[in-house]
Amino acid sequence: MSSNNMIEVKNVSKEFKKIIKEPGLKGSVKSLFHKKQEIVKAVDDISFTVEKGEILGFIGPNGAGKSTAIKMLTGILTPTSGDIMINGQVPYKNRKKYVKEIGVVFGQRTQLWWDLPLTETFTVLKEIYQIEDAAFKNRMDFLNQVLELEPFIKSPVRTLSLGQRMRADIAASMIHNPKVLFLDEPTIGLDVVVKDNIRKAITEINQNEKTTIILTTHDISDIELLCKRIVMIDKGKKVYDGALDKMKEKYGKMREIHINLKSIEDMNKLAFTEKFNLLEDDLEVKLEGKKATIKFNSSKAQVSDMLSYILATITVKDIAVSEADIEEIIRRLYKG
Amino acid sequence: MFGKMRKVYGGFFRAGAQGAMAYRLNFMGFFIGESLYCFVMYFMWKAVFMASGESTFMGFTLVDMTMYVFLSNIVGFFTGTDSTRALAEEIRDGNIIMRMIKPVNVDLSLLANEVGNNVVYFAFIFAPVMLGVEIYRYCALGYVAFDIVSFLIFILSMILSYILSFYLNLIFGYLAFWLMNIWGFDILKGSIIKFFSGAMIPLAFFPGIVRDIFELLPFASMVYKPTMIYMGKISGVNILVALGEQIIWILVFYGIAKLLWHFAQKRLAVQGG
């Protein structure tokens, strides 16, 4: 293991046996007596490394195998094949020892004690992780300042709002100063302001503590704001590993032209496909009232050519060009 | 090592106790229900004794029987455990992973949680019920029959009974890894325990060979034996035998539970992605 790598994942696969049930009541009855099984590869031969102090975005569509992968990295699941080495340990070999030095947030679950005041959860965690009094106090002060827990620290957890609960959960995952932090959908269901606070906190924790972070999310702004590098998986396989900028360059040739039309009929005069010889995948036209959005592949048709063609063909009230966001890139990548 | 364990699981213990405190009222309802059940059983046995026209029935006087009803219920209550349901639910909704990301054993953290819970209930009802039982016995017999040694052995036997019951229930909870929903098995298990543990009918009332077999089963160690120890119906060397049996059953169930957990981890497919 090279000294700089905090996480090394080598040819890891995870298979599940899945029972196939035929639809309907008849299928249910049938499956009572005769079970059809199928082997599903949730994670298929994935390899990657993460350096100490890096924030890695781990993304993919629903059911891509993200969660399964995270559960293997956190020592909950054992891989069917392959090797994982994190912080010099094999996660699933000695779970209790391994988890002492990692922190985990599963955004859809909570590790807080539901019926107790929040501060009690931290006292319990202090005992579980055997944290010294002084270290605990320092840590609490830091987390308090970054995540602003003070206003609700005395309230029972069940009375907290989702945003408060998530901040508390992140604090709880960090109380023992973990070397690696796994954040699985840490901003799910939160409003923009809270998301922003949480992102700031994650950045601050990463910079102050050099904590290595793996982040999975569906919110692409999380990735854009937090991660320099991403690993993308789809159908269990790794489909991209590299800098976010590079990915945008590679797949992000999509541009959007927004037009305010004078008359809707004008749109019929525009024939982009013929004019620029575009494929179905290279062009998407949306029309809402008199506002049209034309999304196209700028490596096939230059932005300037598109603009001059439009302006030469029809009269417009207003026209603007924008870059497609990463969400679009990912969507296209998944399709391909 | 023991000190460290106490510290680590102390948190779970306190959380359990505080959780119990948060739902005091709920518990009162439960307690009233249980008391009513005891009185129903008492009147039923009284009717049985009156109908038989004899003062003793299978070696039990009506005073014995009354004590048995209340004692076996309180033993059943404190040695009963919610671990099947608690564990099965965590397996089914996937929250068991929140235990697995902490440096603790799943079984011990559940145990500490529940003991914390039980200690609160114990403080609230154990002393008053025991006092009530003793006052009744004093009024019925005319002298104080309380024996501190039997009492202490009774407490020890009850603790063993609790651990035994905890691991037996845990085994049923682990079944959720294979069955997902164990509602039916849980009911079945409940009925078996209620019948074979002596919680409904003292095992002494069963005929010869049947009684001998029932007394050998682990369920007898859960309610019947601690109750009989307190009542002085198990005495001398037989007390050691009874305690020994409890310890053996604990080891057996503990072993099975550990083995199941070992296999279950390989099967673990966490619900909800």
CATH number at residue A72: 3.40.50.300
| Least confident piece of the model among A64-68, B228-232, B235-239 | A64-68
pLDDT for the residue numbered B15: 84
Q: How big is chain B, counted in residues?
A: 273
CA atoms within 13 A on the CB side of A45: 1
Closest partner CB to B266 (pick from A78, A106, A116): A78
- Domain shared by A220 and A261, yes or no: no
Q: pLDDT band at B11, cuts 50/70/90?
A: confident
Interchain proximity B270–A74, CB inside 8 Å: no
| Least confident piece of the model among A34-43, A219-228, B209-218 | A34-43
Mean of the per-residue pLDDT values of chain B: 88
Is the pLDDT at B130 greater than 70? The verdict is yes
Is the pLDDT at A250 greater than 70? The verdict is no
Most confident of B19-23, B91-95, B135-139: B135-139
Q: Is residue B44 part of a domain?
A: yes
Q: Is B179 helix (H, G, I), strand (E, B) or coil?
A: helix
Q: Is residue B273 part of a domain?
A: no
- Domain shared by A329 and A212, yes or no: no
Q: Which residue of B has its CA nearest to A78?
A: B266
- Domain shared by A217 and A260, yes or no: no
pLDDT tens per residue across span B50-64: 888 888 888 899 999
How far off is chain B from A217, nearest CA to CA, in Å? 14
Interchain proximity B101–A16, CB inside 8 Å: no
Interchain proximity B22–A67, CB inside 8 Å: no
Token digits of residue A15: 């298979």
Signed CA dihedral, A325, A330, A332, A333: sign only: positive
- Domain shared by A226 and A262, yes or no: no
The parent domain of residue A269 ranges over 253-335
- Domain shared by A268 and A291, yes or no: yes
Token digits of residue A73: 């990295």
Q: Is residue A38 part of a domain?
A: no
Closest partner CB to B18 (pick from A95, A116, A126): A116
Choosing from A249, A281, A308, the residue where a domain stops is A249
Interchain proximity A97–B102, CB inside 8 Å: no
Q: Is residue A19 part of a domain?
A: no
The angle formed by the CA atoms of residues B194, B197 and B198, to the nearest 5 degrees, is 90
Is the pLDDT at A244 greater than 90? The verdict is no
pLDDT for the residue numbered A40: 84
What average pLDDT does range B132-145 have in this prediction? 89
- Domain shared by A104 and A211, yes or no: yes
pLDDT for the residue numbered A1: 47
Q: Residue A115: how many CB atoms within 10 A of its CB?
A: 17
What average pLDDT does range A54-67 have in this prediction? 87
What's the Cα-to-Cα distance from B94 to each of A71, A72, A95, A99, A291, rounded to whole Å? 12, 15, 18, 18, 47
What average pLDDT does range B175-202 have in this prediction? 88
How far off is chain A from B134, nearest CA to CA, in Å? 37
The parent domain of residue B179 ranges over 2-267
pLDDT tens per residue across span A28-57: 777 667 777 788 888 999 999 999 999 999
pLDDT for the residue numbered B202: 93
Contacts of B269 in chain A (CB under 8 A): 16
Choosing from A249, A277, A303, the residue where a domain stops is A249
Signed CA dihedral, B48, B50, B54, B56: sign only: positive
- Domain shared by A228 and A291, yes or no: no
**Of A215, A193, A192, which is closest to residue A203 (Cα–Cα)?**
A215
Q: Are A187 and A209 in contact (CB under 8 A)?
A: no
Q: Which residues contact B155 (CB under 8 A, 6 or more apart)?
A: none
What average pLDDT does range B192-210 have in this prediction? 91
Q: Is residue A25 part of a domain?
A: no
- How far is Cα B136 from Cα B119, in angstroms, rounded to an integer? 25
**Of A47, A48, A66, A50, which is closest to residue A58 (Cα–Cα)?**
A66
Q: Is residue A111 part of a domain?
A: yes
**Strands of chain B, DSSP E:** 56-57, 60-61
What's the Cα-to-Cα distance from A100 to each of A119, A124, A168, A181, A202, rounded to whole Å? 20, 14, 19, 11, 20
- Domain shared by A113 and A243, yes or no: yes
- Domain shared by A167 and A265, yes or no: no
What average pLDDT does range A88-114 have in this prediction? 91
Q: Is residue A24 part of a domain?
A: no
Q: What is the DSSP string of A121-138?
A: HHHHHHHHTT--HHHHHH
Q: Are A122 and A168 in contact (CB under 8 A)?
A: no
Q: pLDDT band at A194, cuts 50/70/90?
A: confident
Q: Are B212 and B61 in contact (CB under 8 A)?
A: no
Pairing of strands B60-61, A229-234: unpaired
- Domain shared by A228 and A260, yes or no: no
Q: pLDDT band at A3, cuts 50/70/90?
A: low
pLDDT for the residue numbered A324: 64
Question: Based on the structure, what is the number of domains in chain A?
Answer: 2
Q: Residue A325: how many CB atoms within 10 A of its CB?
A: 16
pLDDT for the residue numbered A89: 94
- Percentage of chain A with pLDDT > 90? 40
pTM of the full predicted structure? 0.80
Q: Is residue B36 part of a domain?
A: yes
List beta partners, residue B261: none
What average pLDDT does range A166-193 have in this prediction? 91
Is the pLDDT at A243 greater than 80? The verdict is yes
B98 touches chain A (CB under 8 A): yes
- Domain shared by A230 and A264, yes or no: no
Q: Which residue has the tokens 């119990």?
A: B20
- How far is Cα B94 from Cα A216, in angstroms, rounded to an integer? 19
What average pLDDT does range A201-228 have in this prediction? 88
Question: Based on the structure, what is the number of domains in chain B?
Answer: 1
Q: What is the DSSP letter of A325?
A: P
Q: Which residue of B has its CA nearest to A111?
A: B98
Contacts of B7 in chain A (CB under 8 A): 127, 130
Q: Is residue B109 part of a domain?
A: yes
Q: Are B197 and B224 in contact (CB under 8 A)?
A: yes
What average pLDDT does range A298-315 have in this prediction? 87
What average pLDDT does range B149-161 have in this prediction? 94
Q: Is residue B121 part of a domain?
A: yes
What average pLDDT does range B242-254 have in this prediction? 96
Is the pLDDT at A336 greater than 50? The verdict is no
pLDDT for the residue numbered B273: 41
Pairing of strands A81-86, B56-57: unpaired
Q: Is residue B272 part of a domain?
A: no
Kindly give the interhelix angle for B106-141 and B83-93, rounded to the nearest 10 degrees.
Answer: 160
Choosing from A227, A249, A271, the residue where a domain stops is A249
- Domain shared by A97 and A62, yes or no: yes
Token digits of residue B261: 């957990």
Q: Residue A133: how many CB atoms within 10 A of its CB?
A: 8
Contacts of B104 in chain A (CB under 8 A): 96, 128
